[in-house]
A and B are shown apart, each in its own frame.
Chain A
Amino acid sequence: MKYVGKSIKRVEDPKLITGKGSYVDDIELPGTYYVMFLRSELPHAFIKVKSRENVFLGSQINPGRDFPIASNEVTYVGQPIAAVVARDRYEAQDLLESIEVEYQQLPFEVDPFKAMEDKVKVYSKLESNIHIKKEFFGGEPLKEIDKSPVVLTGELHNQRVIASPMETRGIVAWFDGNRLNVWSSTQSAHYLRRNLVSFLGISNIRVVQPDVGGAFGSKIITHPEEYAVSYLALKLGVPLKWIATRREEMITAGHGRDKWLRYKIGVNRDGTIRVLMGTVIGNLGAPYADANDDDGGNILSAARMLPGPYKIKHGYITAYGVNTNLTPTTSYRGAGRPEATYFIESIMEEVANELKIDPFEIRMRNVVRPEDMPFTNPFNITYDTGNYVEILNQSKPYYESLKSEATPSEECVGLGMYVEITAFGPWETARVYAKYDGKIVVVSGTGPHGQGEGTAFAQLAADVLEIPMELVEVKWGDTDIIEDGIGTWGSRTATIGGSAVMQASQELKKRIMEAAAKSMEADLEEIEYSEGKIRHKKTGKSIDLSEAIKSAYKLGIPLDVTSVYPVKKPTTPYGVHMALISVDKETGMIKVKKYVALDDIGNVINPLLAEGQIHGGSLQGISQALYEEAVFSDGLLQNGNFGDYTIPTAVETPKFSWRYVVNGLSPHPTGSKGVGEAGAVVGTPVIMSAIQRCLGKKFNYMPINLERALA
């Protein structure tokens, strides 16, 4: 009985396919009032809001400050400036319409390059619009660029997109007279709790993450509305609910990517890259600290991961995070790493075209060789384990086969390679305990919201305890049921959360053995544990797990273990993805027909679920290349609904196939690396590579919609 490595079906499914999930808007408390937010219609202005009954202003929620709720000055369209409280959502909407706002319009800036000049301050209290400036330097880039026989320069834009989870943000908050209870559509109950504790100045807060309908990075941070609703719940003493409408969601949350690269690379005539230099500029949008801290880190990731899986020893990158009068950006699936991968893969394609080298060959000539592993790139990121040459070799037949299928002149094959950092720290928790009746309960400090780690954790715990998975129940998302936690993001959950689960399960197993030994009047060395049974080596007498658990209770041995698993370094999966596309050269319609992915994500805990992550991520990556873009005019989002913001349907989705190889385990007990973001990291450049081959020209912007394909 071994579960890890098997395609076990999701334990999460039965309740979700019978409509018995409980998402935040399914939670009903008696006497709930509904909250809605009045939002700025201008990108930058001083505001005066007339106070009236059941309307709460920024000056009440956060006096003297403009975040989370603007009290005096707004810095983006959609920024909340007042909350209304009403008996139901219809009345709340009516009340919103009755509020008078006086705007005194101020100059605004949405272009980060212009914002960097600081001629227009996007917020009057900023010293500079430049929020972050950081330089990364490795080797001897200046010397190398002079020595390079070929030097190429260019600019690339990885456009702003919107995460668009099917369930928007939402929160229910209720102060019960003793403490504040919060249910939120969030990526981590514990992280949200810590933020609320610091904002409200009270620690008696319980946060529950109920079922969550996706997030893709957009629900990591604590949003202005979560602070405001929690504050109002404390103040008003009645249960409050806020659920974002889709338009509200699209205007104010989930904005990601939006980074530029201006580059200069030095290349040998054989296509090997000697040096990579340039500037990464990220448009952070308005200065909301929670968001800027989040995406600021992503800009640094984008800069430091620029060398990709290639053996580039010399580099010099300056990274800027710049505030503008747009919606604050946050993490979106990949969080900086897709931008880096898109940038370096676009550059590889350019080098291949410029020097007339096969796109497969150019990568083969540049990848880090197995003898160089672990390899530290010039910006001090270490690629821990794996064999990049080997995965390219294994991909080649798929690449050739797709190429042979392509109808000349209208179909093309593109490819992309990536290396990614996953499984970030600083730590994660797991609690594993045994009920008197033999039930094993696993509680994780992570916050799965669709990725299926409930199943993975059950597999891991069942394997450690050598018992059927049915005996294991997995829970998460309640600050009351485990000491603390970090959360689900950075493709960390199965690996870091899973390692904590293994640690706690091993400790529980040890305690059960202690109890068994005592009850059998044996020394610990005299007994052995196998398949949920504890056997006395000499006498052959054995008891099963449930008996051992019962005796532990009788002997007063606690079977409730919490482990904290600390993390030193991220671990680096990698892979090669390919796609066959067709281009209708009259209309510009591009279709992705087939998509083949090969990944090395270390030990694969559950291939079925890992493949699901690759399909989902790759489709989002494809969509960034072909369909998605947040379009603004005067700081106002022009496509804030699903009619105009085109996320793909089943019709636009290609046939996926996935293979995995295991040439590099992570150092963690699970041996696994992250896979949650990989597809989104590499999917975009794969499609761009195919498009550029089909159309015989270079694009430095996306998406390549119908019209742009003809441009």
Chain B
Amino acid sequence: MYPPKFGYVIPDSIDEVNEFLSEHEDAKALAGGHSLIPMLKLRILRPSYLVELKGLNELHYLVNEQKRIRIGALTTHYEILKSNLPLLSEAASTVADPQVRNMGTIGGVISHLDPSADYPASLIAMDATVKIKGVKGEREEPFKDFAKDMFSPDLNPGDLVKEIIVPDFSGYTYSYKKLERRAGDFAIVGVAVLMRKESGVIKDVRIGLTAVNNKAVRAYEAEKMLLDRSLDDKLLEEASTKAMEYANPTSDIRGSSEYKKKMTKVMTKRALLDAYKR
């Protein structure tokens, strides 16, 4: 309940954030604070400083450009769910509860990398790119490489996620299916599907899985089975069985590994069918 002592920094610019974080390796950037502060309260983390990002408006935007959407790291779940982005807005609507969605940010979620988070299933399916700013300048990296392992983003001391870029999937249908024990919970299993159809034939399909591996994965083989085909019961069964093979879940209070594996199939089936019918 009671965080340990820490220093607090209110920077004037991103450059100042980069500089301070690189000089103080155990300092932590504070965005929405809905993962960092709970960890502080449990004293799981003991940073020397928190660096407040809230005032940095240059990290707070959502721009719909031609063929890509640029999302500032400080964009909140609420803002994303209101912005009508294919798949990602639906995923945002399932994150936690209204108060959390008012504060939590997409940059925070992917810098934290809880293996049960909602966004990663979509971001991996969307081939999202992460723009990172460090003391030496900016770099871009595919989300799948950025997420190195659970709770392990590809961030060096001084680095800050500046932007998430997703391709424009207008014309795609989509679905995010989250299985949860109770409203507001983290996912037991989350499956994100993006689909492009031409007269009932699947021309592109992307399946992202969350909560069933150390980090989100794409069920590539399942996607391949679906390409250039129309969805029927048999194909649905086969493809979701294939997707299940990508799940390597752990047993915890939310369910056994076997159950979660089975649910990967059920949720994939539902997400595919939902996307296909939309």
Contacts and interface: CB of A to CB of B under 8 A. Distances in A.
Interface in B178-217: 179, 181-186, 188
B2 A643 contact: no
B266 A638 contact: no
Contacts of B256: 707
A476 to B, nearest CB: 30
B253 A639 contact: yes
B259 A706 contact: yes
Q: Could you say which interface size class chain A belongs to?
A: 20 to 34
Interface in B153-195: 179, 181-186, 188
B266 A643 contact: no
B123 to A, nearest CB: 23
A247 B2 CA distance: 12
Nearest to B262: A710
Given A93-B2, A94-B4, A652 B263 contact: no
Nearest to B2: A93
Nearest to A707: B259
A638 B253 contact: yes
Contacts of A589: 179
B182 A706 contact: no
A646 B183 CA distance: 10
B259 A646 contact: no
B1 interface: yes
A644 interface: yes
Contacts of A644: 253
B259 A649 contact: no
Contacts of B263: 587
B55 interface: no
A586 to B, nearest CB: 5
Interface in A96-155: 97
Contact of B184 (A586, A649, A710): A649
A389 interface: no
B255 to A, nearest CB: 5
A631 B253 contact: yes
B183 A705 contact: no
Interface string B1-38: 11111000000000000000000000000000000000
Given A245-B1, A586-B266, A706 B181 contact: yes
A246 B184 contact: no
A651 interface: yes
A627 interface: yes
A199 interface: no
Contacts of B3: 90
Grouping DSSP codes into helix (H, G, I), strand (E, B) and loop, the B interface class, with mixed when no group exceeds half, is loop
A646 B1 contact: no
A607 interface: no
B182 A710 contact: no
Contacts of A213: none
B182 A648 contact: yes
Contact of A651 (B1, B183, B186): B183
B182 A649 contact: yes
Given A94-B4, A707-B255, A646 B181 contact: yes
Interface string A83-94: 000000110111
Q: Which residue, A587, A627, A648, has most C-beta atoms of chain B within 10 A?
A: A587
Contact of A90 (B2, B179, B181, B266): B2
B182 A587 contact: no
Contacts of B179: 587, 589, 706
B39 to A, nearest CB: 13
Contacts of B188: 706
Contacts of A92: 2
A89 B4 CA distance: 11
Q: Which residue, B183, B185, B259, B262, has most C-beta atoms of chain A within 10 A?
A: B259
A706 B253 CA distance: 12
Contact of B181 (A586, A631, A705): A705
Contacts of B182: 627, 646, 648-649, 651-652
Contacts of A707: 255-256, 259
A587 B186 CA distance: 16
Interface string B239-278: 0000000000000010110010011001000000000000
A707 B258 CA distance: 10
Nearest to A247: B1
A643 B185 contact: yes
B181 A587 contact: no
Contacts of A247: 1
Interface in A635-665: 638-639, 643-644, 646, 648-652
B266 A646 contact: no
Interface in A503-552: none
A256 to B, nearest CB: 20
B42 to A, nearest CB: 8
Nearest to A243: B1
A32 B265 CA distance: 57
Contacts of B5: 90, 94
A89 B3 CA distance: 10
A82 B186 CA distance: 36
Contacts of A638: 253
Contacts of A587: 179, 263, 266
A648 B183 CA distance: 8
10 contacts: A89-B1, A92-B2, A97-B43, A247-B1, A639-B253, A646-B181, A649-B183, A651-B183, A705-B181, A706-B259
